[in-house]
Amino acid sequence: MALGRLLMFARQLPSAEHDADAIAALVRFSGMGYVAVAILIGSGLINAWILVGSPERLITTPYGRLLLMKMCLLAGMLALAAQNRFRLVPSLQGSKETSVELLPLLRRNVIGEQILGLMIVLIAAWLGTLAPAITAAQ
């Protein structure tokens, strides 16, 4: 993983071999990403079901509104990840000329994903301090 990060964030990749290594690392990482995202979404849905109780409480409680904000941030993070995986990485695989143009965009998207991920972690910590929505009076 450190190799992929080093390759992706290098200012200039000196050779086609380095380009190929960066692309291979990105493709390998995406396989792990699918599993991690599926586990996170599944466990999040189960937690939401247990801690929120009803769709109405998503809107009417502070816990629910914060959870909705977290879900919106996750959707943004997944949109960036999908653009990276299904648009940028295949484009990088197909053409050496575009790597100079696409790597900075990929770099920005990954930084955006990290920022959104940090915000999601902070909201999750905040949610841990609140009473679950299911305990709110109706």
Rounded-to-integer distance, Cα 15 and Cα 89, Å: 17
Residue-wise pLDDT tens digits, 76-87: 999 998 998 888
Domain total for the chain?
1
Q: Which pLDDT does position 100 carry in this prediction?
A: 72
Query: What range does the domain containing 41 cover?
Result: 2-135
Q: Which pLDDT does position 95 carry in this prediction?
A: 67
Candidates 95, 92, 96, 70; CA nearest to 83 is: 92
Burial class (CB in 10 A: 0-12, 13-18, 19+), 26: buried
pTM listed for this prediction: 0.76
At 123, list the tokens. Answer: 């909201």
Residue-wise pLDDT tens digits, 28-80: 777 788 888 899 899 999 989 999 999 999 999 999 999 999 999 999 999 99
Q: Which pLDDT does position 13 carry in this prediction?
A: 47
Rounded-to-integer distance, Cα 97 and Cα 39, Å: 37
